[in-house]
A and B are shown apart, each in its own frame.
Chain A
Amino acid sequence: MFRFPNLAWPKRILMALALAVLLASSGLIAKPKPAGHYGYGKAATAAEIAGWDIDIRPDGRGLPDASGSVEDGEMLYEDQCAACHGSFGEGVGRYPVLAGGEGTLTEARPEKTVGSFWAHTSTLFDYIRRAMPFTQPSSLSAEDTYAITAYVLYLNDLVEDDFVLSKETFAEVAKLPNHGNFTPDPRPDVDAKRCMKNCKDPASVRITSEPTILAEEVAEDTPVKAASPQEQGAEVYNGACAVCHNQGVAGAPKLGDKADWEKRLSAGEETLIKHAIEGFQGQSGFMPAKGGRMDLSDTAVAEAVKFMLAESIN
């Protein structure tokens, strides 16, 4: 499957490994296991390992003892996922599409989703648990992860609305439709030759494509050292606040939503700045202190709030 042209394995280590394997398998090592050659670090206890060993494998190894239903998943998904991935998994803006796309893999613009492209349900459970929701990773309980995973399967028409996902029912849905369509790496797969003279007919040399977008439209971002407070506000907003306030994630007031911001401003700019710096539990959701970016100075957050107000109200 892989090519390793220059296997320069450290021979001593290999021999040590082989020896270790031999000793272990022949039962020659008395318990407790002796320290390694160097003996650095501490032995990891079962409890320590359990706290970090979060991965789920294709056969379901690693799944926690819990369960969650499509029904419960719907509400959780609407609350915690839909702002970015859309209520139907269609994706908002440039956020990933989670459902649909079946039969598009051979098209010019393939849509790769859980239903159309992924191979294993374990990957979905594992990824949601490790990395989502985007702004609050590692925050979902085992039950909620089961429920949301079940709901994403439902959005892809892979289970019925009464399905309950658990360690036990996992096997029924372990393989996703595109399972089996992944192949090992065959490279090098292109056999180019090193020709030096008259390698092709000069008449055949044509320009087949050039960038059609003007350089300015491509808007390649040069992060300039913010000169003015306004520029600093925009910079902080883009780096630390846009992730929630652009789409209205988790109940955040959207940039440009004049009505919402005017209502909030009636409490006074100072209050809004205070809430942004110290964090704020409001009617629509929870605003983490400094958007979770404790490295930002109070002034930087204040400039971001002023920028948000200026963009939304004027």
Chain B
Amino acid sequence: MRQKKVEELDKLVSSIATAGDKLPTVERRQFLSQGLSMLGGAAAMVAGGTALAATTSKYAPPNVPPWTKTLGQGVIADPYGVPSPFESNVVRRNVPWLTADRIASISFTPLADLKGIITPSGLVFERYHAGRPEIDPDEHHLMIHGMVDRPIILTMDDLMKFPSTSMIRFLECPANGGMEWRGAQMTKLQFTHGMLSCCEWTGVLLSTILAEVGVNKGASWILAEGADGALMSRSIPMEKALDDALIVYAQNGEALRREQGYPIRLINPGWEGNTCIKWLRRLEIGDSPYYQREETSKYTDLMPDGTAREFTFVQESNSVVTTPSPENPLKGKGKYWLEGLAWSGRGKIKAVDVSLDGGINWRPARLTGMIEPRALTRFGMEWDWDGSPALIQSRSIDETGYVQPTYTQLRAVRGSSSIYHKNAIHTWRLHADGSVTNVQIS
């Protein structure tokens, strides 16, 4: 974003002469001299490191920028609105060496550039096992069968007639941060924590559909299956299905995005993203788990003694500082708004603490904005940086009293081969020049 901005700024600055040309002579002289003195003044301020915000903009008051003196684009210039070109660097990215190809692969949400708790639909991380299918909603069907009184097939029209519910919930891949189990490896926040997002999801409670088909006695597990080339499948326990599992057709107020399972997906709030089957086509009600590849070969947690934990559904509480971060370095000492994100698959975030000395001393941060259960929660703190190096950490506490652990605590129990569910306290190393790098500390 920054590089792009500098270039754009250069362009604007070079157009200042043109703008000046169009002004009456007196104003013109004033315009140019003010522009120049402003540049000089700004430079002086930066050098002197005064508390006042420095600007190199030629259009700061009292000058009037060209966009104020011309007409802008008319309506429906972009029938579907897109972000400003100045934000063109805010995109999903992938890490090619993680997977063999881009079809069974993952991309990451640019967390450092996001504000609030809602992830824009187009920036939600992607995870595919056979690529993203293109599905005509008129040709999509959801079949519910197995241990039920009335096996049924629903079209999208049918589904839309059921009572609708919305909830804001995070969605996280259980492998989020998994590359860091053995040591710090990724260089940016986007890659250390970016298999994470939070949206408003709208759809029909799974419990409503289960009541509709009449679940038989003894039924305890549900196989959820997608319509993609991987026929992605997971077993979901009945308790979750009856609690808050949602069959989702809309995301952030519009139809679900293709990347997220258009036309429908399952959302199991607070649970592994992998259980939230996309392009949902089938729900089979049964009396035991189905032991699919994604719940034995993958998404099981290998322990140091060689055993593995299965059906580890909950995403435990986690947090990360998003400013400062490698993508958001500091520009010299002074006052900043330090902020980050916290979340818990078990409920609401109760508190977040921040440490600047690598976990020796902590102070509570402020929770800002909405605090929803199983949703991203913003925290922030005013901070006057004296310019000295720091080890910045955040630690979340959820409403069950669970405290986010350190790497040392987590590894003492689970070793470092389990790939999934790494929710250790993260450390950013802030250098004297304001740059930020990923480290792990003892």
Hey, which chain B residues are within 8 Å of A186, CB to CB?
Answer: 309
| Complex CA–CA separation, A6 to B345 (angstroms) | 11
Hey, which chain B residues are within 8 Å of A48, CB to CB?
Answer: 143, 153
Residue of A nearest to B165 (CB): A10
Chain A positions 230 through 249: 1 when the CB is less than 8 Å from some CB of chain B, otherwise 0: 00000000110011001000
Chain A positions 1 through 18: 1 when the CB is less than 8 Å from some CB of chain B, otherwise 0: 111111111100110110
- B304 interface residue per 8 A CB criterion: yes
Chain A contacts with B in 268-297, Cβ cutoff 8 A:
295
Hey, which chain A residues are within 8 Å of B284, CB to CB?
Answer: 53, 55
| Complex CA–CA separation, A38 to B158 (angstroms) | 10
- B210 interface residue per 8 A CB criterion: yes
Hey, which chain A residues are within 8 Å of B437, CB to CB?
Answer: 210-211
Hey, which chain B residues are within 8 Å of A55, CB to CB?
Answer: 223, 225, 233, 284, 290, 292
Chain A positions 179 through 212: 1 when the CB is less than 8 Å from some CB of chain B, otherwise 0: 0011111111110111111111010111111110
Hey, which chain A residues are within 8 Å of B309, CB to CB?
Answer: 182-186
Chain B positions 129 through 166: 1 when the CB is less than 8 Å from some CB of chain A, otherwise 0: 11000100000000111000111111100110110000
| Complex CA–CA separation, A11 to B51 (angstroms) | 58
Chain B contacts with A in 87-104, Cβ cutoff 8 A:
91-97, 99-104
- A27 interface residue per 8 A CB criterion: no
In the complex, identify which listed stretch (A74-82, A155-163, A219-227, A259-267) lies at the interface while the others stay far away: A219-227
In the complex, identify which listed stretch (A65-73, A116-124, A144-152, A250-258) lies at the interface while the others stay far away: A116-124
User: A192, A200, A218: which has the most chain B beta carbons within 10 Å?
Assistant: A192
Partner of A13, one of B144, B216, B242, B439: B242
| Complex CA–CA separation, A122 to B233 (angstroms) | 14
B230 near A130 (CB under 8 angstroms)? yes
Chain A positions 27 through 45: 1 when the CB is less than 8 Å from some CB of chain B, otherwise 0: 0010001011110111110
Chain B contacts with A in 171-208, Cβ cutoff 8 A:
183-188, 190-191, 205, 207-208
| Complex CA–CA separation, A221 to B439 (angstroms) | 22
Residue of B nearest to A56 (CB): B290
- B313 interface residue per 8 A CB criterion: yes
- B281 interface residue per 8 A CB criterion: yes
B360 near A44 (CB under 8 angstroms)? no
Chain B contacts with A in 345-391, Cβ cutoff 8 A:
346-347, 351, 353, 357-363, 373, 391
- Count of inter-chain pairs, beta carbons less than 8 A: 313
Hey, which chain A residues are within 8 Å of B312, CB to CB?
Answer: 185, 187
Partner of A207, one of B188, B399, B441: B441
Chain B positions 296 through 327: 1 when the CB is less than 8 Å from some CB of chain A, otherwise 0: 11001011111111111110100000000000
Given A36-B212, A184-B311, A198-B360, check contact A106 B316 (CB 8 Å): no
- B337 interface residue per 8 A CB criterion: no
- B410 interface residue per 8 A CB criterion: yes
Chain B positions 391 through 427: 1 when the CB is less than 8 Å from some CB of chain A, otherwise 0: 1000101011011111001101110010001000000
B296 near A205 (CB under 8 angstroms)? no
Hey, which chain B residues are within 8 Å of A29, CB to CB?
Answer: 149
A58 near B306 (CB under 8 angstroms)? no
B359 near A137 (CB under 8 angstroms)? no
B229 near A131 (CB under 8 angstroms)? yes
- B69 interface residue per 8 A CB criterion: no
- B237 interface residue per 8 A CB criterion: yes
- A21 interface residue per 8 A CB criterion: yes
- B244 interface residue per 8 A CB criterion: yes
- A138 interface residue per 8 A CB criterion: yes
- A105 interface residue per 8 A CB criterion: yes
Hey, which chain A residues are within 8 Å of B313, CB to CB?
Answer: 2, 185
- Rounded to whole Å, the gap between the CB of B135 and the closest CB of chain A is 12
| Complex CA–CA separation, A208 to B361 (angstroms) | 19
A221 near B91 (CB under 8 angstroms)? no
Hey, which chain B residues are within 8 Å of A218, CB to CB?
Answer: 95, 97, 186-187
- Rounded to whole Å, the gap between the CB of A20 and the closest CB of chain B is 4
| Complex CA–CA separation, A213 to B403 (angstroms) | 32
The count of residues in chain A whose C-beta lies closer than 8 Å to any C-beta of chain B is: 102
| Complex CA–CA separation, A119 to B289 (angstroms) | 13
Hey, which chain A residues are within 8 Å of B213, CB to CB?
Answer: 36
B211 near A37 (CB under 8 angstroms)? yes
- A228 interface residue per 8 A CB criterion: no
- B239 interface residue per 8 A CB criterion: yes
Hey, which chain B residues are within 8 Å of A242, CB to CB?
Answer: 101-102
| Complex CA–CA separation, A110 to B419 (angstroms) | 11
B282 near A52 (CB under 8 angstroms)? yes
Hey, which chain A residues are within 8 Å of B305, CB to CB?
Answer: 106
Partner of A33, one of B150, B243, B429: B150
| Complex CA–CA separation, A95 to B441 (angstroms) | 33
Given A134-B130, A185-B313, A189-B414, check contact A106 B152 (CB 8 Å): no
- B288 interface residue per 8 A CB criterion: yes
- Rounded to whole Å, the gap between the CB of A35 and the closest CB of chain B is 7
Hey, which chain A residues are within 8 Å of B347, CB to CB?
Answer: 5-6
Hey, which chain A residues are within 8 Å of B129, CB to CB?
Answer: 131
- B440 interface residue per 8 A CB criterion: yes
Chain A contacts with B in 43-65, Cβ cutoff 8 A:
43-44, 48-49, 52-55, 57-58
Hey, which chain A residues are within 8 Å of B296, CB to CB?
Answer: 117-120, 123, 182
B91 near A223 (CB under 8 angstroms)? yes
A130 near B162 (CB under 8 angstroms)? no
| Complex CA–CA separation, A223 to B95 (angstroms) | 11
- Rounded to whole Å, the gap between the CB of B182 and the closest CB of chain A is 8
B91 near A209 (CB under 8 angstroms)? no
Hey, which chain B residues are within 8 Å of A2, CB to CB?
Answer: 237, 239-240, 311, 313-314
- B32 interface residue per 8 A CB criterion: no
B145 near A53 (CB under 8 angstroms)? yes
A120 near B291 (CB under 8 angstroms)? yes
| Complex CA–CA separation, A93 to B391 (angstroms) | 38
Hey, which chain A residues are within 8 Å of B158, CB to CB?
Answer: 40-41
Known: A13-B211, A223-B94. 19 other contacts (CB 8 A): A1-B311, A17-B207, A24-B216, A33-B214, A36-B212, A38-B212, A41-B158, A43-B150, A44-B145, A52-B281, A52-B282, A117-B297, A187-B312, A194-B397, A199-B360, A209-B184, A211-B185, A218-B186, A219-B95
Name 25 interchain pairs, CB-CB below 8 A, sorted by A: A10-B205, A17-B207, A17-B211, A24-B217, A38-B161, A42-B152, A53-B284, A55-B225, A123-B293, A126-B292, A127-B292, A130-B231, A137-B231, A185-B313, A187-B316, A198-B360, A199-B359, A205-B359, A205-B360, A205-B442, A206-B441, A206-B442, A207-B429, A211-B184, A295-B134
